[in-house]
Structure 1
Amino acid sequence: MLLKFMCDRDVVENGLKKKHLLPDSDKFDAAITSCIADIDMDGKPEILLGTFSQMMLVYKFDGKWRLSGLRRFSHAVHSIGYTDLSGDGAKELIVATMSGIHILQHNPVNVLKEFYGRLNPALKMIQSSNIADGSADESVDE
């Protein structure tokens, strides 16, 4: 018999009384590990579950929980982490199995798009505040 995975939301307000079933979770073997991380860089964390049946499940919340991704590995998933191993400012997903450590990286093009998507509004705001207070840089001829 396969178990259903549950999560609690707003435990400060509700304690452990308001449970949510993670959809399709009863189709997979026992969860061995979990990780909460914003792996799609949208500002909202996902739930990642590693299972004995060699799967990593990714759940996303957009009003309700939904299974948004699956990844099969060659052995049971024992540990999942999300940190910047390479020191480049973009986090990597680290998955430990009996066959070794798997490091999954974001597509560099997507990382750059996300970086510039966050940087451009800040630059525009700084530029407009400099223009408003008269401190905009003037070009200087030497």
Structure 2
Amino acid sequence: MAVTLDLGGAPFVYFPAGEPLAIPGEVVNSDPLEDRSLIDHPRLRRILVRVHPSMPALPYVLHWSDGSDLHAVDDRVISGVVDAKDFHGALVAEVRSVVCRNCAAILRVAVAETAISILSGNLAPRIAEHEFRRNCPVCGERSIPHVVEYLDAA
């Protein structure tokens, strides 16, 4: 069951693991096949954010690199007892394609998104504490900045 949360900043719709990303007629830029590949990801949870009241909801993900038990977060969200502490280790990220600067591999990634105003009250420490993926999974060389997850890498 999707749940609307407001933990400071803009409200967002949180989708626990196993819950399809669907609010009929209200989601743009969403690929159902990609959503299926993210639906049970161990470090990601899918969210929808309406960045302006006149705009449709846009899909993003929350990414944890601190080992948080996301099934426990899901349970707290569903039971209505979640609070900002449950999201301490999370960063908002956008799923998109990027090209490695070294080997030109086209990769599907989640990249930290700092312009979205949810969970942004302590953004600087979140970024400093977050573990980023720094090397391309194809060639091993330094990759683009702020990648939190390579989604199509083995």
Q: TM-score, normalised by structure 2?
A: 0.27
Which structure has the greater CA radius of gyration?
A: 1
- Between the two structures, name the one with larger relative contact order (CA 8 Å, sep ≥ 6): 2
Q: Would you tell me which structure has more strand in proportion to its own residues? A: 1
Q: TM-score, normalised by structure 1?
A: 0.28
